Structure formats: C-alpha cells, structure tokens
Amino acid sequence: MQRRPIKQLACIAMCWIMMTMPAQAVTLLRDAGIEHGLSKLAAPILRAAQLNPNQIKILVVQDDQPNAFVTDPWHIFVTSGLIQRLETAAQIQSVLAHEAAHIANGHLSRRRANARASQTAAGIGMALAAATGALTNNGQAATGLVLGLQSSAERRFLSHTRAEESAADLASVRILRRADVDPHATLDVLRIFEGQESLAAHRQDPYVRTHPFSRARIRALQALIETGPKIPPNADAAYWYTRLQAKLSAFQRSPNWSLRRAKADPYADVAALRRAVAHHRLADLASALREIDRALALRPKDGFLLDLKAEILLKNRQFSEAARVYATAVTQTDGHALVLGGHGRALLANGDLTNALPVLVSARTKDVADARVLRDLAVAYARSKKPGMASVVTAERYMIQGRPNDARLHAKRAADQLPRGSEAWNRAMDVLHATKP
C-alpha cells in the first residue's frame, strides 16, 4: 500500500483530546492573548526540561475546577479554575514544570499504548494523534479526538501513578531551578490541595484525583526544595500572569466585579484591559474602546491588545474597522493563528470574500483545531460555490466538537463531491475512518 507524504499526514489530525465531564464535552477557551501569556510563562520551563517551546502548546479548558494534565507530548492543558485559583506566576510555572516532567520522562507512552488497545473512539483518536506526531514531527498538527470519556474513564486516562508523580516531582524541581523559578512555589500549590485525599472522591478537586499525592510525598519534596536557596520572582513572568488572569476573569466574572477589581491592578495597562472587557460586556462600546486605547497608549506595539480591540469592534458589528485593526494585529503578533483567524472572520463579515478565504485557509493551516475558523471557512467555501470543501471543514469542526455522527454525515458528502485522491478528499476519508461505527 502506498504511503501518504508527510505533508498530507499533517492534514489528518484535526481534533484535540480533551477530558469530559459525564455526558458533556469540555470546551477549550481559545484566546490569543491568554495563550500568548501562558507561552511566555512556559517557554523557560520547557527549555529547562529540554523540550521545544515551539512544539508544545499550553491550552485552557473551560472548567471552574482546578486541574492540569497532559494527554500527548505536544499539549499541556490547564483549567480556567486552576488559573484563577493560583496566585503567582511561579505557582503556575511549577504546575507546568510538573506536567513538562511527565512529557520529558516518557510517562505518556503507557497511556498511548492503552489508548491504542482501546476500541473506543477516544482510543482511535489517540492512536491517530500519536502516529501523526511521530510521522510529521509537528506538535501543532498532532492532535487527538474529542469523543466522550466519562468521568471514571477520564480519571483512569489522566491519572499518573504515585511513582510517576514522585519522579515528576524530582524532575520539576530541577527544571524550575534551571529556569530560575523558585521551586518553593511547588509546595504552595500542594498545600492548596493538602488534606483532600481523605475526602470522598466526588468532593475532591480533580487535581487531587489525577495527581495522587500524600503527606509523605510532600515531606520528601519539602526536604528537597528547602535545601536550595529561594529565587526572587521574575518581574516579566509576574506581569504576564497578572494580565492573563485579568483577561480571563474579566470575561468570566461579572462586569461590576471587574470594574471594582481593576482599582487594585498593579499595572495600568492591565487595569485598562480589564475595564475594556467589562464595558464591552456591558454593551458600552465607547467606554470599551476608550479603555483599550488607554492600554495601547502604554504598550503601542502590543498586537494582543490590538487583537482584543478588533474583537470588541467585530462583536459590535464594526466590521470594516475590525478588519483594519486585525490586519495590524496580525503583523504585530507575527501571524498568530488565532489573530489570523479573527482577521479572516472580520473580512468575511465585511463581505470581502476574496481576501477572507485565503486568510482563513492560512489560519487553519497554522491551527488545525480552531472550530471557529472551520465554521467561518465553511461559510467562505459555500459562498465561493465550493460545497465539497465546505463539507470537509464542517466534518472536521464536528469532530472537534465531539459530534461524530454529524462529522461522518458531512464527510460522506465531501467524499462524494471532491476529486478522489485529492488532499481534501483524503481529509474527508480520515474523518470517515475515525468515526467508523
């Protein structure tokens, strides 16, 4: 049988592995500014773990419960609840160091073997992701399948053994010290969850269920950490954690809470960002733009602040101005995939199909699992009289959203309309194979 070239194999991975709560898929929170802030915090940690920061994404799961986990060698997931629960940049970096240690120590190989042996759709997706990652050497392209792990299966899949946890503890301390981050933050994180193992499982935070620890483990870790000196906080890391926390909470908490909280923000641009989101959510466009412009006056070359401004304009149907601001943001963020997707969305909303389509195609190429881009791309293809292409990206979007039956329906339509053997036809066939009953 003829092998597909690596370039085509990179196109077959279109979905993320995510844990689910019972009968409910968990949503990824895709935001360019928040993901950029996490990447700034993660970069020194990943380099210290001898991992490539350009190949590992830090993604946020919408979940009020604090947790962090890895499912493959290319992604570290943290929940929105964990970001809001932790207090310092060093604390979130200690969690990232622990998860990076699992990747660097090869603890995921057992999971991949278990997933390949599974007859579930989740197992198929995991095997697909592992094979694609190995063949393409492309962490961003290697992704898994969102199809319904129940909570008990989730715990088995995401949990590490105590031996693995202890090994990750030791490795994470070394990683943090090499990254010039104070490992005492690790103890702060563990103390937040200390004592929960004695609770019934349904009352425990997920972090405890997926990261088993004990008082003996904490004592051993404490002895290791306290033999070394304390490392002062990094000012740049503190800024980025404050900023991403502020943006996340501004979108998730009440606008009035955000306006009150902004008074205590230690950075003027972060306070303005928080107020901008609050006013936007209160449908006060003039005040929102005034505040984001205030932040931009302090950081005029910050493309991620421009991304927020463009998003506010777009959601207020200022399509032409949103597209103009997004274009500048794309340049200032070096073509960040999510910003590029926003630009394509604004162009499409403004009726500029000629320019929207190639921008959206480029955004999908950079990030194969952005459901919003796939939705917009389907609209753009449909308006361009390309129903086969609209069907294949719709099939991929349904895969990402954990809707295998709908994905299969649209993949069949795509396969019937696309040239047999073409790259897009192969993508449709991959969806059909992955969702085979």
Distance CA 112, CA 341 (A): 31
Distance CA 16, CA 25 (A): 12
User: Measuring CA to CA, how many Å separate 18 from each of 15, 27, 209?
Assistant: 9, 8, 16
DSSP bridge partners of 24: 21
Q: Are 393 and 39 in contact (CB under 8 A)?
A: no
| 181: nearest Cα among 96, 102, 112 | 96
Determine whether 144 is exposed, middle or buried from the number of CB atoms within 10 Å of its CB (0-12, 13-18, 19+). Answer: buried
Residue percentage of the chain with pLDDT more than 70:
75
> Which two three-digit tokens encode residue 199?
């609770």
Q: What counts of helices (H) and strands (E) characterise the chain?
A: 23, 6
Distance CA 287, CA 279 (A): 6
> Which two three-digit tokens encode residue 92?
């979130």
**pTM exceeding the 0.85 threshold for the entire prediction:** no
Mind listing the domains of the chain with CATH numbers? 6-225 (3.30.2010.10), 246-434 (1.25.40.10)
Distance CA 321, CA 78 (A): 34
Distance CA 202, CA 424 (A): 44
Q: Are 330 and 304 in contact (CB under 8 A)?
A: no
Distance CA 327, CA 265 (A): 30
Q: Where would I find the beta strands (DSSP E) of 83-219?
A: none
- How high is the pLDDT of residue 28? 80
Residue type, 25: A
Residue type, 348: L
| 128: nearest Cα among 24, 239, 10, 251 | 10
User: Measuring CA to CA, how many Å separate 250 from each of 259, 261, 296, 309?
Assistant: 9, 9, 18, 14
Distance CA 269, CA 23 (A): 41
Number of Cβ atoms within 10 Å of the Cβ of 286: 8
Q: Are 327 and 292 in contact (CB under 8 A)?
A: no
Residue type, 72: D
Residue that has been written with the tokens 């962490």 in this structure: 139
pLDDT in 10s for each residue of the chain, 437 residues: 333 433 333 333 334 333 233 334 457 888 999 999 999 999 999 999 999 999 899 989 888 888 888 877 888 989 999 999 999 999 999 999 999 998 987 756 555 544 443 333 333 333 333 333 333 333 232 222 232 333 444 444 444 566 677 778 889 999 999 999 999 999 888 877 665 454 444 444 555 545 555 666 777 788 888 888 889 999 999 999 999 999 999 999 999 999 999 999 999 999 999 999 999 999 999 999 999 999 999 999 999 999 999 999 999 999 999 999 999 999 999 999 999 999 999 999 999 999 999 999 999 999 887 889 999 999 999 999 999 999 999 999 888 777 889 999 999 999 999 999 999 999 999 889 888 87
pLDDT tens, position by position, 181-227: 999 999 888 877 665 454 444 444 555 545 555 666 777 788 888 88
Distance CA 334, CA 345 (A): 18
Distance CA 83, CA 245 (A): 7
**CB within 8 Å of 397: residues ≥ 6 apart:** 371, 374, 375, 378
pLDDT tens, position by position, 384-415: 999 999 999 999 988 877 788 999 999 999 99
